[in-house]
């Protein structure tokens, strides 16, 4: 490993001048710069990142935290990593699994291993997570209203209402709902939308409602319940494309087809929706990923990076 010290020794120029050339900061005479540059090439000099990190108190690394893997997480990460790279940041992935591990991972912020953290799906209370903002900026995909945690969320209430109204217009009077965990803010918004819709249209039956904490097997279970239901809803709205796709696949295995047996609607616009031809509404996760990065980078570099505007829209099949 060639170091800056070697370059200084070989060229007979001081370490600091070499450092100036290497980092491109400060004035150096053309003659010396050339000599140093030549030596750099000759000795295959590559600056030591670890030393830089210690010295500058930065690692240019963002932690990407999620409880566990789900297909959309991969697509989200794709966008996130690309956007971070644009600003010279790299992304470290962590599966948090439980509250304890999540806290330990957040400690990496305090230890200086991470400059910032993005939480795709959380475990601990926001109060707990919030404490870590003293060590670095935190952003999340989830919906929170806190001054210290950035959340680029969308209110699901009007959107869900829009979906329901659309189905009503198409003639559906029995609509099922497959929702995420009850505690999630988005689920609560959707439940409120259901209540509003119900009040508006007393002729619509909204009795089929399921909740799932994870995406794994949710679609399968929902399909079984649908098959066993006394009054099967002819339209079901899902909280994730993956779950919707699993629902469709399970139904198909049981000899059904969606449609006509059941109209399936979801809200991600993921690769899976495209493949399985599920009707889906794009809620702008790609923009949310970009905005998350921009907020974090903005905080770290003390600048205001413009956020992309999220435009939810139906994806034509």
Please give the residue ranges that form the binding site for a second copy (CB under 8 A).
Answer: 1, 46-51, 53-54, 57, 59, 61, 69, 71, 73-75, 77-78, 81-82, 85, 90-95, 107-108, 110-113, 242, 245-246, 249, 252-253, 271-272, 274-277
Closest CB 208 distance from a second copy, rounded Å = 22
Binds 246: which of DNA, a second copy, none (CB < 5-8 Å by kind): a second copy
For the record, the structure tokens of 304 come out as: 């205001």
The residue among 43 and 204 lying less far from a second copy, judged by its C-beta, is 43
Tally of CA atoms within 13 A in the half-sphere of 89 that contains its CB: 30
Lookup result for tokens 């619509």: 204
Other Cβ atoms less than 10 A from the Cβ of 183: the count is: 9
Report which of 93, 41, 87, 20 is spatially closest to residue 60, judged by C-alpha positions: 87
The residue among 26 and 259 lying less far from DNA, judged by its C-beta, is 26
User: 47-66 mask for DNA (x: CB under 7 A)?
Assistant: xx-xxx-xxxx---------
Stretch that binds DNA, among 8-16, 93-101, 257-265, 290-298 (CB under 7 A): 8-16
Which pairing describes strands 279-282 and 263-266: parallel, antiparallel, or unpaired?
Answer: parallel
Closest CB 41 distance from DNA, rounded Å = 15
Closest CB 46 distance from DNA, rounded Å = 7
The residue among 96 and 160 lying less far from a second copy, judged by its C-beta, is 96
Binds 231: which of DNA, a second copy, none (CB < 5-8 Å by kind): none
Closest CB 41 distance from a second copy, rounded Å = 14
* Residue 31 interacts with DNA (CB under 7 A): yes or no: yes
Closest CB 22 distance from a second copy, rounded Å = 12
SS (HEC) of 56-118: HCCCCEEEEEECCCCHHHHHHHHHHHHHHHHCCCEEEEEECCCHHHHHHHHHHHHHCCCCEEE
Report which of 99, 90, 97, 145 is spatially closest to residue 118, judged by C-alpha positions: 90
The residue among 213 and 257 lying less far from a second copy, judged by its C-beta, is 257
- Cβ-Cβ contacts under 8 Å for 157 (sequence gap 6 or more): 189, 190, 192, 193, 196
- Binding DNA (rule: CB under 7 A), the pick from 15, 82, 182, 200 is 15
The residue among 73 and 117 lying less far from a second copy, judged by its C-beta, is 73
* Residue 16 interacts with DNA (CB under 7 A): yes or no: yes
Binds 100: which of DNA, a second copy, none (CB < 5-8 Å by kind): none
Question: For 267-271, which contacts have Cβ atoms below 8 Å and span 24 or more sequence positions?
Answer: 267/159, 267/163, 267/237, 267/238, 267/239, 267/240, 267/241, 268/72, 268/240, 268/241, 268/242, 269/241, 269/315, 270/71, 270/72, 270/75, 270/241, 270/242, 271/71, 271/75
Q: Which sign, positive or negative, has the C-alpha torsion 237, 241, 244, 248?
A: positive
Closest CB 109 distance from DNA, rounded Å = 14
Residues that bind DNA (CB under 7 A): 1, 3-5, 13-17, 19-20, 22-23, 25-29, 31-32, 47-48, 50-52, 54-57
């Amino acid at each position: 490993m060639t170091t800056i010290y070697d370059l200084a020794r070989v060229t007979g120029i001081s370490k600091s001048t070499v450092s100036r050339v290497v980092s491109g900061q400060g004035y150096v005479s053309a003659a010396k710069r050339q000599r140093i540059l030549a030596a750099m090439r000759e000795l295959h000099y590559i600056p030591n990142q670890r030393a830089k990190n210690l010295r500058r108190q930065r690692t240019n690394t963002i932690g990407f935290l999620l409880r566990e893997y789900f297909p959309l997480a991969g697509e989200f990460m794709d966008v996130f990593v690309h956007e971070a790279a644009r600003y010279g940041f790299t992304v470290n992935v962590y599966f948090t699994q439980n509250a304890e591990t999540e806290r330990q991972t957040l400690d990496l912020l305090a230890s200086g291993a991470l400059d910032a953290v993005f939480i795709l799906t959380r475990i601990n209370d926001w109060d707990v997570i919030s404490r870590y903002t003293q060590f670095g900026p935190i952003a999340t995909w989830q919906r929170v209203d806190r001054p210290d945690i950035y959340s680029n969320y969308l209110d699901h209430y009007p959107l869900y209402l829009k979906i329901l109204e659309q189905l009503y217009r198409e003639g559906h009077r029995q609509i099922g709902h497959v929702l995420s965990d009850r505690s999630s803010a988005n689920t609560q918004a959707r439940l409120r939308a259901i209540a509003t819709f119900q009040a508006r249209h007393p002729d619509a039956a909204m009795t089929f409602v399921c909740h799932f904490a994870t995406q794994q097997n949710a679609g399968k279970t929902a399909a079984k319940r649908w098959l066993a239901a006394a009054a099967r809803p002819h339209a079901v709205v899902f909280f994730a494309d993956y779950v919707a796709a699993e629902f469709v696949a399970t139904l198909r295995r049981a000899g059904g087809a969606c449609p006509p047996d059941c109209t399936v609607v979801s809200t991600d616009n993921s690769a899976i929706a495209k493949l399985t031809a599920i009707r889906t509404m794009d809620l702008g996760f790609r923009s949310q990923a970009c905005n998350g990065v921009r907020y974090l980078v903005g905080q770290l570099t003390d600048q205001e990076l413009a956020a992309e505007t999220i435009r939810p829209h139906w994806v034509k099949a």
